[in-house]
Amino acid sequence: MTASRRVSAVAAAVFVMALPGIVGLLHAIDHLRRDAAYQDILYIRSPQALKRMSLGYTGLFADLYWTRAVQYFGYQHHQHSKDFSLLAPLLHIATQLDPKLLPAYQFGNNFLAPRPPNGAGQPEEAIALAQYGIRNNPDSWQLYYGLGFIYYTEMKDYSKAAEAFASGGRVPGAHPFLRILAARMAQHAGEFETARMLWTTTYQTSQDQTIQLNAVDHLRALRVDEDVTQLEKLVSIYREHVGRTPGNMTDLARAGLIGSSPVDPTGQPYKITSDGRVEVHDPDSILYITKGTPPNYQPPQPKADKQK
C-alpha cells in the first residue's frame, strides 16, 4: 500500500468511526441535560426589538414563535406542570410580529383560558389576546366566537359572551349560530342545551382535527353531566315514593321512571351508589365530566397529542 493510500485509509477510518462516536456523545449529553431543549427562558421579550432583528421577515419569526408557544405548552402540559408563565409572552410576540396569524389566536386562547390540567388557567390573558386579534382582524368572526366562548366557559360572564357573539354575528359571512347563541345567552346561559350548541358549533366550524376531537370529548362529557343530573333527580323521586335508595337501574325501570337501563357514551351502564349518587362505570374513559364521578376523584390528564 502506498503512503498516499495509507493516509486515505486512515482518514476514511477516522471519519467512519467518528460519526457514531459523535452521535453517541450527543445522546449522552442530551441525557445529562434532559431539559436543556425546553429551557424556560425568553431572552427577548420585546416584539419591537424582534421586528427589527428580523429585518422585515416578521412572518417567519412569527411562525417560529407560534411553534415555540405550541411546543412550550405541549411540554409543560406533558410534564403536568402548572407553570405556564411564558405562554402569554410567546403568544404576544407571535401575534405582534404577525397580527394576522389567526391560528395563534384561535388555538392560543384554547391553551391559555381553560383551568389546569386542560390549559394554563389564564382567561384574562386569553381575553386580551382575543381582543387584540379582533382589533387586527375585524372581519374574522371566529375570533369573536372565541372571545364569547372564553367569557361563557371560563368567566361565566354571560352578558359579555352575548356581546361578543352578537358582534361576531354582524360580521359578513359569520356562522348563523352566533346570533342564536347571542340570543340564548340572555335567558338560557347556564343550560346544557346552550353548552351543547357552543361545542357543536365549534365542531362544525373547525377544520382542525384536534379542535374537533376536543369538541367531541366535551359533547360526550355534557351528555354524561346531563344524564347524571336527570338520573339523580329520578333517584330522589324513587326515594320519596319507595322510602329507600334504589339499588340499581332495574329498580328505577320497575318503578316506571325509566324505560331501559341508560348507558354512558362508552356504552357502559350507569350505576347507582348506596348514597343515591349516579356514577359512570369508568370515569377515566370520559374526559371533562363534572358529574358522575366518585368523591375526591382526580381527572386524568388529557392525552398530550390532543393538545399538541
Scanning 6-14, 35-43, 100-108, 222-230 for contacts with other proteins by CB under 8 A, the matching segment is 100-108
Binding residue (CB under 8 A) for other proteins from 193, 208, 282, 284 = 208
Q: Is the dihedral of CA 288, 293, 296, 300 positive or negative?
A: negative
Cβ-based nearer residue to other proteins, 128 or 211:
211
71 lines the binding site for other proteins (CB under 8 A): yes
Scanning 24-32, 52-60, 77-85, 259-267 for contacts with other proteins by CB under 8 A, the matching segment is 52-60
140 lines the binding site for other proteins (CB under 8 A): no
Cβ-based nearer residue to other proteins, 71 or 205:
71
Strands (E), the chain: 271-272, 278-279
Of 169, 174, 130, 176, whose CA–CA distance to 153 is shortest? Answer: 130
76 lines the binding site for other proteins (CB under 8 A): no
Binding residue (CB under 8 A) for other proteins from 76, 95, 96, 106 = 106
CB 228 within 8 A of CB 298: no
Question: Could you tell me which residues come within 8 angstroms of residue 256 by beta carbon, excluding any fewer than 6 positions away?
Answer: none
Scanning 15-23, 81-89, 94-102, 144-152 for contacts with other proteins by CB under 8 A, the matching segment is 94-102
Neighbours of 241 (CB within 10 A): 10
63 lines the binding site for other proteins (CB under 8 A): yes
Binding residue (CB under 8 A) for other proteins from 9, 17, 24, 59 = 59
Binding residue (CB under 8 A) for other proteins from 1, 32, 37, 55 = 55
21 lines the binding site for other proteins (CB under 8 A): no
Q: Give the CA distances from residue 191 to residues 36, 123, 237, 250, 262, in Å, rounded to whole numbers and listed in that order.
A: 47, 21, 22, 29, 21
37 lines the binding site for other proteins (CB under 8 A): no
Q: d(Cα 127, Cα 131) in Å, to the nearest integer?
A: 6
98 lines the binding site for other proteins (CB under 8 A): yes
Cβ-based nearer residue to other proteins, 107 or 152:
107
Min dist CB 129 to other proteins, Å, is 15
CB 244 within 8 A of CB 272: no
Q: d(Cα 27, Cα 25) in Å, to the nearest integer?
A: 5
Scanning 2-10, 50-58, 182-190, 271-279 for contacts with other proteins by CB under 8 A, the matching segment is 50-58
Of 231, 254, 258, 232, whose CA–CA distance to 242 is shortest? Answer: 254
Of 299, 76, 106, whose CA–CA distance to 205 is shortest? Answer: 106
Give the dihedral of Cα atoms 65, 71, 77, 80; nearest 10 deg.
-110
Cβ-based nearer residue to other proteins, 75 or 192:
75
DSSP state of 279: E
149 lines the binding site for other proteins (CB under 8 A): no
Residue found under cell 416584539: 47
118 lines the binding site for other proteins (CB under 8 A): no
Binding residue (CB under 8 A) for other proteins from 24, 103, 138, 294 = 103
What is the binding site for other proteins (CB under 8 A)?
Answer: 52, 55-60, 63, 66-67, 70-71, 98, 100-103, 106-107, 208, 210, 308
